[in-house]
Amino acid sequence: MYLQTARIAVILIPRRSLSFLLSHPLHQRRCFFSSSVPSLTVRRSDRLFYFKERRIFTKATKKHKQLNTSIEEKDYSHIIWWKERMQLCRKPSSVMLVKRVTYSNLLGVDTGLKNGSLKEGTLNWEMLQFKSRFPREVLLCRVGEFYEAIGVDACILVEYAGLNPFGGIRSDSIPRAGCPVVNLRQTLDDLTRNGFSVCIVEEVQGPTQARSRKSRFISGHAYPGSPYVFGLVGDDHDLEFPDPMPVVGISRSAKGYCMVSVLETMKTYSAVDGLTEEALVTKLRTCRCHHLFLHTSLRHNSSGTCRWGEFGEGGLLWGECNARQFEWFEGYPVNELLFKVKELYGFADDITFRNVTVTSDNRPCPLHLGTATQIGALPTEGIPCLLNMLLPSNCTGLPAMYIRDLLLNPPAYDIASTIQEACKLMSNITCSIPEFTCIPSAKLVKLLESRETNHIEFCKIKSLLDDISLLYKNSELKEILKLLMNPAWVATGLKVELETLVNECKSISCRICEIIFLDGEHDQKMSSYTTVPNEFFEDMESSWKGRVKRIHLEEEYAEVDEAAKALSVTIQEDFVPIISRIRATTAPLGGPKGEILYSREHEAVWFKGKRFVPSVWAGTPGEEQIKQLRPALDAKGKKVGEEWFTSKKVEDALTRYHEAGNKAKAKVLELLRGLSTELQIKINILVFASMLLVIGKALFSHVSEGRRRKWIFPTITQRHRSEDAEILRGADGMKITGLWPYWFDAAQGGAVRNTVDMRSLFLLTGPNGGGKSSLLRSICAAALLGICGFMVPAESAIIPHFDSIMLHMKSYDSPADGKSSFQIEMSEIRSIIAGATSNSLVLIDEICRGTETAKGTCIAGSIIETLDAIGCLGVVSTHLHGIFDLPLRMKNAVFKSMGTECIDNQTMPTWRLIDGICKESLAFETAQREGVPEALIQRADELYLSVYSKDKITKIESKLKQYRPSRLEKEPPPLNQSLKLSEILCKEVENAVVGICGKSVNDFFVKKDISEPQAMRCVLIGPREQPPPSTIGASSVYLMLRSDRKIYVGETDDLEGRVRAHRLKEGTQNASFLYFLVPGKSMACQLETLLINQLSTRGFHLTNIADGKHRNFGTSELLGKEMMAR
């Protein structure tokens, strides 16, 4: 355990210290208040403050005690922080408000202005108490139907939430702003989107004594990445959760850079050590952090690549961090960062955080920033996005995030092998698969811990648990479920046994089923009476009916039913006679009018009419009821209008009904919150199950897209240590046959395929536009996909499990860091050389092109020598042909080039990788194709001939003998439910289909002379299931079984897309499907027509029976005979 050595420090501050702090520029006081002084004593003239172990003790005269009530020394840093935010305001209205802000208290309220009193007992004083608990959060306080903010918080609302200040821009009042209750969610989204945290204060609901202030409490917080959930348990809609934003701390150790990430919602943290500067910047680019803390160890960096603080600005990491808001900290990084998180979020000291870091010695290094951007793992303009090629366009959100994170942080060999094995099984299964319900783990944890999970979320949780059970029950899917356990462990840091997971999922699902009202149940209809508008009962009862099972609310249901009936009877007695009297009265113009209406605003059913009071009371029907009417009043006792009337009996009945409804609603909320409390002890199981389904959906989607693109599974080889020596031995080379660029779709054709047979470093030459850069990107992407366990765009592949993959392409200058493009390139090359090992893949495109040719050639030659000595695999491409004249000391590197051919006396690239050296650049031809003026190109040709025509051409053949050619040994070949239809109907349809089509399919195989024909097999796709990846690209005939027992027959080559399209239509969202695969589209069309014509004759109801009369495509003699025979 880390112990602080300096707990007490003394700092002398002059009398004007506060004004000094508040007026000092930001860059000079960024580190003034640092955790490097955890406890201090400040002596100020005749005042002495003791700060010890983060508690405050005061000795002062009476006069200074009074001053200290407005501002305390511990609040100085927070006030400075708010002043910096005020200086960033740019809107004219917010700038005017900032002028009325004073920095004598945390609210920024000037007590000399109107409404600025901070006396004890006032609302402002109460808000100040809440503000002092969370001084760096915007405070929104509920006042009636508004959420109000004052002082600095009001300025922030006006600047970032687009709200108008209360009272306009009058200069005699403190800044005030707010939003209506109905707009709270939008206001919170605006604030958190701009990086602010918000503390929300609610009023205690219920009656209060006259002239007494309502009690208030902190109901919750909204942070960037963590929304406000108070009251969600009673809503009937879902709440979108953004990606969680961690608190990040960066430090430096002997191993390299260390990044600690803390998620306050999950109460977890992870620590990754040994990062390079480029890898750390990549992580920061992909991680939107809530707070960034930099450890003081970064100031003492002696590597020369980064210069911090007082040593000036510069360096890739410094540039990344300097563009963000950050604070310094010191001490043991993990413990100190967790302490700061508890301070930021107001956690108690006994709150513990779980370490989810799963360490592995053989896990590859994270991708460098340049590598990630140049292959599109991070979206980059002009670069094909690799992520978009791995997944179908409809697979987004959590599964896509998992795939992206896996690419940026490749897994260890055993996890990659497990992922690949699971993908292979997914590719070959024939059964239907679940929908894979995906719920963010942070959402699960926050809703359950805050007890705000509503019935919609519980239904989603049950679907999630049922998906796990479905995977376990099916023999094919069970093997996949077993394989997904370890990847889920690495992703969550939770180790769960398979049997424990399945049993817990069943138990939790059953418990939810006991409490929650599920789809398909029909015992909770709204009350309905002819005398009461249906909209009234719909609005009043929809807020609690259909949420939990009726068995838990029998008493409450009985009370509501009795109250609803009593209300109907009362309205029948008091209002209906008046309506009957009005209808019996006839008058040509200006006659009486009246009706029973629902007033939604006042949640009441009243009589609305005019001119219905008789001029002479004659004792006719309805007169007695008219005499009982009285004006309708709102909740404040004010008259609603001249035409709205009620009676005492109706008001009593309404009160009784509302009380019964409120009691039932309270019972429902109690049951929902109680279920949340029960599931809190099961959070780890739910988090693990949720992540497992995310991984499952991501991999199934990848396999589906990979099969569509005709990608293959590579063989992943692992280097291992020999038993008698500490030397890594094993597969040394990489061989990819038929490789094509990942952004080309092989299914559409047109891609040039290359075979890369690599056992050492390649020195690659070729013309402009010859495909060098595309080849490097393709090799990098294929290798990265392979070591992650994914499919690759090739015909076959053997890929070693590299410890790092590094790609360097073009470089740009960085004026902010004062570096030229060549400096940036050299910085990246230094990082590559430092991180490369014999088990690395290094790819460098057009090396040293940013400086003068002679010295650039020599630097490039030295780099090639170094990489050759390291023994890594890789490719270095260049146009610096002078390299071949240098006396390079190389043992393994071989020369490769991009081929060319002569067509019509013009040299054209073939984009194929061949042996040898190519010194033809095709520079003039490339310039001409890009529209450079012909005169300019002709002059360039003249200059070229005048200088280079007499140069001697070096004979490369003699030099090639110095180097060992690339020789590869023979490599081993690559390793190749919602509502359900009754089982009776499914079986009947299946038997009919087999009976109708079985003979035709068998005859087809006999005609094709297939010795072992496959038996015809029908596969059922349930309501919440989807086709397996094995249907991708295969012809199939399918039958849609609707809930009304009607059948639709169709054929397709894209069964997944067709199922998705059918389920988007009204009434078929929960339809089941029965399908079987057939050899070819022509056969599918024939069988579709046959089924349409024959099923109707067997008593089945078809929705597309007319299609059978218009299907002549592919009709064969065999099918014709079959139809005639029937």
Contacts of 223 (CB under 8 A, 6+ apart): 192, 197, 198, 245, 264, 290, 345
- Using CA atoms, how far apart are residues 677 and 672, in angstroms rounded to an integer? 9
Q: List, for residues 221-247, the tens digit of each pLDDT value.
A: 999 988 999 989 988 888 888 888 899
pLDDT on residue 985: 80
More confident residue, 903 or 729: 903
Smallest CA-to-CA distance from 668 within 528, 546, 564, 509 is with 546
Of 48-52, 354-358, 986-990, the one with minimum mean pLDDT is 48-52
Pairing of strands 9-12, 216-222: unpaired
pLDDT on residue 1053: 87
pLDDT average, residue stretch 698-708: 94
Contact 775, 754 (CB under 8 A): yes
pLDDT score of 283 more than 60: yes
In one-letter notation, the amino acid at residue 1057 is G
Pairing of strands 630-631, 644-646: antiparallel
> What Cα–Cα distance (Å) separates residue 477 from each residue in 108, 255, 829?
61, 42, 46
Which DSSP symbol is given to 223?
Answer: B
**Percent of the chain at pLDDT exceeding 70:** 83
pLDDT average, residue stretch 448-469: 94
* Phi–psi pair at 207, nearest 5 degrees: -70, 145
Q: List, for residues 792-808, the tens digit of each pLDDT value.
A: 999 999 999 999 999 98
Instruction: Output the six-digit token pair for 409.
Output: 């942080």
Which DSSP symbol is given to 213?
Answer: P
What would the DSSP string read from start to end of 652-685? Answer: HHHHHHHHHHHHHHHHHHHHHHHHHHHHGGGHHH
Please give the angle made by the CA atoms of 383, 384 and 389, to the nearest 5 degrees: 155
What would the DSSP string read from start to end of 9-76? Answer: EEEE--TTHHHHHHHS-HHHHTTTS-TT-SSEEEEETTEEEEEETTEEEEE--HHHHHHHTT--GGGH
pLDDT average, residue stretch 261-285: 89
pLDDT average, residue stretch 91-118: 91
Instruction: Output the six-digit token pair for 1078.
Output: 């057939």
pLDDT on residue 587: 61
Angle between helix 821-835 and helix 853-870 axes, rounded to 10 deg: 10
Which DSSP symbol is given to 303?
Answer: S
Instruction: Output the six-digit token pair for 419.
Output: 């992922």
Using DSSP, state whether 320 is helix, strand or coil: helix
Please name every residue paired with 42 in a beta bridge, in sequence order, or none if there are none. Answer: 11, 49
Instruction: Output the six-digit token pair for 97.
Output: 């408000």
Of 388-402, 420-434, 1110-1124, the one with minimum mean pLDDT is 1110-1124
pLDDT average, residue stretch 514-541: 89
Q: Categorize the per-residue pLDDT at 813 as very low, low, confident or very high, splitting at 50, 70 and 90.
A: low
- Residue carrying structure tokens 């292979």: 424
Contact 82, 76 (CB under 8 A): no
Of 97-106, 706-715, 810-819, 988-997, the one with minimum mean pLDDT is 810-819
- How many CB atoms lie under 10 A from the CB of residue 584? 10
- Using CA atoms, how far apart are residues 116 and 371, in angstroms rounded to an integer? 57
Using DSSP, state whether 123 is helix, strand or coil: helix
Distance of CA 1125 to the CA centre of its chain: 58
Distance of CA 73 to the CA centre of its chain: 41
**Percent of the chain at pLDDT exceeding 90:** 44
Distance of CA 696 to the CA centre of its chain: 16
pLDDT score of 150 more than 60: yes
> What Cα–Cα distance (Å) separates residue 799 from each residue in 459, 713, 717, 782, 789?
44, 10, 6, 9, 10
Please give the angle made by the CA atoms of 611, 617 and 619, to the nearest 5 degrees: 120
Q: Categorize the per-residue pLDDT at 268 as very low, low, confident or very high, splitting at 50, 70 and 90.
A: very high
> What Cα–Cα distance (Å) separates residue 852 from each residue in 826, 855, 991?
14, 6, 79
pLDDT on residue 1008: 64
pLDDT average, residue stretch 862-890: 88
Using DSSP, state whether 247 is helix, strand or coil: strand
Smallest CA-to-CA distance from 882 within 811, 965, 832, 952 is with 952
pLDDT score of 982 more than 70: no
- Using CA atoms, how far apart are residues 1004 and 996, in angstroms rounded to an integer? 14
Q: List, for residues 1044-1072, the tens digit of each pLDDT value.
A: 888 999 999 888 888 988 888 888 888 88
pLDDT average, residue stretch 655-665: 94
Q: Categorize the per-residue pLDDT at 317 as very low, low, confident or very high, splitting at 50, 70 and 90.
A: confident
pLDDT on residue 817: 59
pLDDT score of 702 more than 80: yes
pLDDT score of 9 more than 50: no
- Residue carrying structure tokens 């004249």: 885
Contact 199, 140 (CB under 8 A): yes
Using DSSP, state whether 904 is helix, strand or coil: coil
Q: List, for residues 462-496, the tens digit of each pLDDT value.
A: 999 999 999 999 999 999 999 999 999 999 999 99
Q: List, for residues 916-963, the tens digit of each pLDDT value.
A: 887 777 777 777 777 888 888 788 777 777 776 544 344 434 444 444
pLDDT score of 1014 more than 60: yes
pLDDT score of 40 more than 60: no
Please name every residue paired with 14 in a beta bridge, in sequence order, or none if there are none. Answer: none
* Phi–psi pair at 508, nearest 5 degrees: -65, -40
Of 18-27, 340-349, 361-370, 782-791, the one with minimum mean pLDDT is 18-27
pLDDT on residue 314: 43
* Phi–psi pair at 628, nearest 5 degrees: -80, -10
pLDDT average, residue stretch 664-687: 95
pLDDT average, residue stretch 422-451: 93
Pairing of strands 1072-1077, 1019-1021: antiparallel
Contacts of 183 (CB under 8 A, 6+ apart): none
pLDDT average, residue stretch 754-783: 91
pLDDT on residue 948: 66
Smallest CA-to-CA distance from 461 within 668, 266, 666, 672 is with 672
- Mean pLDDT, the chain, whole residue set: 81
Q: List, for residues 603-651, the tens digit of each pLDDT value.
A: 999 999 888 887 777 777 888 888 899 999 988 889 988 889 999 999 9
What would the DSSP string read from start to end of 739-772? Answer: E--TTS-GGG-----EEEEESSEEEEE--TTSSH
Q: Categorize the per-residue pLDDT at 310 as very low, low, confident or very high, splitting at 50, 70 and 90.
A: very low
